Amino acid sequence: MELTPRQIVAELDKHIVGQDDAKRSVAIAVRNRWRRQQVEESMKKEISPKNIMMIGPTGVGKTEIARRLASLTGAPFIKIEATKYTEVGYYGRDVESMVRELVENALGIVRTTEREKVNEEAKRRANERLVDMLLPPFSSKTRRPSQDDDEDADEDEDDDPENLSDDELVRKVRHDRNKEKIKKMLEDGKMEERTVSIITETRAVPMIMGNMPGMESMEMDFQEIFEKIAPKNRTKRELTVKEARDFLVEQESDRLLNKDKIQSAAIELAENLGIIFIDEIDKIVASEKQHGADVSRQGVQRDLLPIVEGTTVQTKYGYVRTDHVLFVAAGAFHRAKPSDLMPELQGRFPIRVELKDLTKEDFVRILTEPDGSLTKQYQALMQTERVGLQFESDGIDALAGYAFEINQKMQNIGARRLYTIMERLLEELSFDAPDRSGETIVVNADYVRDKIDDLCKDEDLSKFIL
């Protein structure tokens, strides 16, 4: 979260071509989240996030900006589709569930951070348990599985060196020496393939079916109740020391964590740094013909109003205020306009950013510049079959030209057109690759024209395939 706006834009540039205005707006909004944390408490309450609405055709990078932003910020971030929500009373998701998802995301972030803090102690405890599994603790008496904790305490007193006979003392010294040897071998990684037995406990939790509209909170409460009262199933598993260590470290980490502290920290994190990306917001604009699913679309907008403005939502971890959650909405708005949204909802997204249509030059850059560009992806895939794939500049230019031309003739689906063209271009090679090991295929303009030209000339066929 301490990245400057310039650094955020530079990181986004590694994966997304163009759309500088959208990148700048998002970078400023994210940086403002950090700035707000630095001001005095009295002023902090007054500073509200400036929500953003990104407007542009499909395939120009709206969702990709959100996806990359999620991995970049490290803050609680969720991407949701506006179309999966319906007005309370209709079958579908409750709008408030997006806040619950945000808290779950924050919980995962906090839990990961806290696990790192107790990781060393958890490893130490896990190794101690592994030593006991490989060499049971010394006892002067034969232990019975039915012994309770009090009997174990009495046994520990009996194992005191002052109470042991000479023979027992010799056995104890030998046992301690063996224990140290095993501990040293574990630390040196010499017993990774040894097998140990671990008993795992699981609860048979019945799934609550039905997805009752507006009753998701109650369903979670029922789930928790069943988790507490359901009987435990004990299963004995044979694992290698390496596998068992990972399992035991995770188990010990959970025991060391303070659940109440994690939950309160997660709520605070979600409230102050949470970002919710609402995709396809144009799809909840009600059409002129009010019938079918359109009936609830206006209701979804009404339900979104208090969430975006700031309200309190009940989750199973406590109440969450959305006053300082940043909302970023995006939509293609092919058949509707942003002004078709409810005026109140429009006002809650004060920053508008229009993303531009992609040009042929943009397609060339998309195919070559990003770290995970399509050309690099296919080169990596073919390399697994020991087939070299070499893209010439004129070949990439031809690919970009076909993508741009087809988008102009038919439905403009932006950069997604490159996926269909690339798949068609390399379909034959992908099929024959196992039989062409050691070859190098050069993709130039002639190769592209040979594979794609006929499809583009036949308009009906290109509609069907591309």
Shared domain for 337 and 317, answered yes or no, is: yes
> Measured between alpha carbons, how far is 212 from 343 in angstroms, rounded to an integer?
30
Q: How far is CA 267 from the centre of its chain?
A: 18
Helices 20-38 and 259-273 pack at an angle, to 10 degrees, of 130
Domain identity same for 13 and 90: yes
Residues 73-101 have pLDDT tens digits of 778 888 888 888 765 555 557 788 889 99
Q: Indicate whether 247 and 193 sit together in one domain.
A: yes
Number of Cβ within 10 Å of residue 117's Cβ equals: 12
Let me know if residue 241 belongs to a domain: yes
119-134 helix and 97-117 helix, angle to the nearest 10 degrees: 70
Q: Tell me, yes or no, whether 339 lies in a domain.
A: yes
| Residue 338 CB partners (closer than 8 Å, separation 6+) | 53, 55, 282, 331, 346, 352
Q: What pLDDT sits at residue 210?
A: 47
Residue 33 lies inside a defined structural domain of this protein:
yes
pLDDT tens digits, 394-420: 989 988 888 888 888 777 788 888 888
**41-50, 156-165, 266-275, 408-417, range with the lowest pLDDT:** 156-165
Predicted local confidence at residue 107, as pLDDT: 92
Going by C-alpha positions, the residue among 57, 101, 120 that lies closest to residue 332 is 57
Tokens of 121: 């102690």
Q: Assign residue 310 a region: left if phi > 0, alpha if psi is -120 to 50, beta otherwise?
A: left
Radius of gyration of the chain measured on its C-alpha atoms = 30
| DSSP string across 21-78 | HHHHHHHHHHHHHHHHHHS-HHHHTT-----EEEE--TTSSHHHHHHHHHHHH-S-EE
Contact (CB, 8 A) for 412 and 57: yes
- Is 80 exceeded by the pLDDT of residue 105? yes
> Does residue 463 form part of some domain?
no
203-215 pLDDT, tens digit each: 555 555 444 544 5
Per the structure, the complete domain to which residue 179 belongs is given by 119-256
| Structure confidence by residue, pLDDT tens digits, 239-276 | 787 778 888 888 888 888 888 899 999 999 999 888 89
- Mean pLDDT over 438-456 rounds to 84
Parallel, antiparallel, or unpaired for β 388-391 and 440-443?
parallel
- What gap in Å lies between CA 170 and CA 26, rounded to an integer? 71
Whether residues 186 and 249 share a domain: the answer is: yes
Pair 312, 379 in one domain:
no
Cβ–Cβ < 8 Å for 300, 284: yes
Angle at 112 between CA 273 and CA 35, to 5 degrees: 20
CA distances from 242 to 201, 251, 294 (A): 20, 15, 55
Domain edge (last residue) among 354, 373, 390: 354
Number of domains in the chain: 3
Whether residues 296 and 414 fall in one domain: no
Give the domain CATH number at 304: 3.40.50.300
Give the DSSP per-residue string, 145-206.
TT--HHHHHHHHHHTSGGGS-HHHHHHHHHHHHHHHHHHHHHHTT--TT-EEEEEEEEE-PP
The confidence band for 133, taking pLDDT boundaries of 50, 70 and 90, is: confident
Q: Which two tokens stand for residue 418?
A: 């490159």
Is position 144 within any domain?
Answer: yes
Give the residue from 297, 320, 354 where a domain finishes. Answer: 354
Helix, strand, coil tally for the chain in percent (to 5): 60, 15, 30
Query: Which of 303, 286, 328 minimizes the C-alpha distance to 95?
Result: 303
CA dihedral 365, 370, 376, 378 (to 10 degrees): -80
Report helix, strand or coil for 387.
coil
Q: Same domain for 337 and 301?
A: yes
What's the confidence (pLDDT) of residue 238?
78
Q: What confidence tier does 103 reach under pLDDT thresholds 50, 70, 90? A: very high
Among the listed residues 55, 18, 29, 42, the one whose alpha carbon sits nearest the alpha carbon of residue 333:
55
Tell whether 18 and 77 lie within a shared domain: yes
Query: Are 244 and 184 in a shared domain?
Result: yes
Residue at token pair 């030998």: 174
Domain of 398, CATH number, reads: 1.10.8.60
User: Which of 239, 256, 273 is the last residue before a domain boundary?
Assistant: 256
Within a domain: 460: no
CA-nearest of 434, 436, 447, 437 to 390 is 447
Same domain? For 90 and 170 the reply is no
- Residue that wins the pLDDT comparison between 391 and 201: 391
Is 466 within a domain? no
Residue 464 inside a domain? The answer is no
- The reply to whether 134 and 252 lie within a common domain is yes
Of 111, 145, 134, 132, the C-alpha closest to 196 is: 134
- Clarify whether residues 379 and 334 are in a common domain: no
- Tell if the pTM clears 0.95, that is, is over it: no
In angstroms, rounded to a whole number, what is the distance separating the alpha carbons of residues 285 and 302? Answer: 11
